[in-house]
Amino acid sequence: MVAGHGIGYDGMQNDIYGTFVGLLSGRIIIKKIRRSTNDKVIAGLCGGVGEMLSVDPVLVRLICVFLCVATAVLPLLVTYIVAWIIVPQDTSADSSEC
């Protein structure tokens, strides 16, 4: 960690407001959690998390299915529904293009 900044040596951190913060060439990059409009199966949450973390959304979906089975379905189902309500949909112009 860089002293007093809360940023690791790799320049990445997650803050408490659901944003992904990265440091690249002296610039701070902030990606907020949004529901994907172009990569969605149900609500676009896994697609949005995949876009935010720059990983394949299929991997995020597989992790969600595993967690759903491991926690007896209900906790993850409730979490997904609450996130569906709370997380805003992506409204950027480039996300609506296929």
Tell me the per-residue pLDDT of 54-94, one tens digit each, with 9 for 90 and over: 888 999 999 989 988 998 888 888 988 999 999 888 887 55
pTM: 0.60
Residue 2 to residue 48: CA distance in whole angstroms: 29
Q: Work out the mean pLDDT of the chain and round it to a whole number.
A: 74
Considering the domain architecture, whether residues 75 and 51 belong to the same structural domain is answered as yes
Domains held by the chain: number? 2
Q: How far is CA 38 from CA 1, 29, 41, 89, in A?
A: 36, 22, 9, 11
Residue 10 to residue 18: CA distance in whole angstroms: 19
Q: Which domain holds residue 45?
A: 34-91
Over range 9-27, report the average pLDDT: 53
Res 25: pLDDT: 59
Residue type, 9: Y
Considering the domain architecture, whether residues 38 and 84 belong to the same structural domain is answered as yes
Considering the domain architecture, whether residues 51 and 75 belong to the same structural domain is answered as yes
Task: List phi, psi (to 5°) of 44.
Answer: 90, 10
Considering the domain architecture, whether residues 87 and 43 belong to the same structural domain is answered as yes
Res 62: pLDDT: 93
Q: Is the pLDDT of residue 49 over 60?
A: yes
Over range 5-29, report the average pLDDT: 53
Considering the domain architecture, whether residues 16 and 41 belong to the same structural domain is answered as no
